[in-house]
Each structure stands twice: as C-alpha cells, then as structure tokens.
Amino acid sequence: MSATELRAKDEQSLKAELIELRKQQFKLRMQYSMGQSTRNHEFSRIRKDIARIKTVLNEMSRA
C-alpha cells in the first residue's frame, strides 16, 4: 500500500488498518516461531506498512 493511498483515507480507517496489521504481524511471528510459516518476506512487508500508516497518522495529527 502506498502512502498516497493512505493519505486519502480518514483517521479511523487508518487506525483500524493498523490494528489489523499488528494482528497479522503477531500471527505470522507465532507461526514462524512454531516452524509453520515459510513466508519470511511478509515480515518486512507488514513492518513497512505499519510504518507507513504511523507516518501518515503522525502527519494528520500535526496538520
């Protein structure tokens, strides 16, 4: 998801998406620790998406 797409959304939907991404990150981390997941590339994708959302939320709060 790009930052321009995120900037078009409102604050509530961004917060909901942030919560959903954190849940996905937790599930993926648990699967990886139990040896069930082979999707290691998802770690960095989810982490970067979380950072993008937090950046846009910070921009909104400062504006």
Intervals of the chain under pLDDT 50: none
Using CA atoms, how far apart are residues 38 and 58, in angstroms rounded to an integer?
33
Domain boundary assignment for the chain: 3-62
Structure token pair of residue 26: 């937790």
Exposed, middle or buried: residue 56 (CB in 10 Å: 0-12, 13-18, 19+)? buried
Helix segments in 11-40, DSSP class H: 11-33
Spatial separation of the C-alpha atoms in residues 31 and 11, rounded to whole Å: 30
Hey, CA dihedral for 17, 19, 20, 21, is it positive or negative? positive
Q: Which CATH class is domain 3-62?
A: mainly alpha
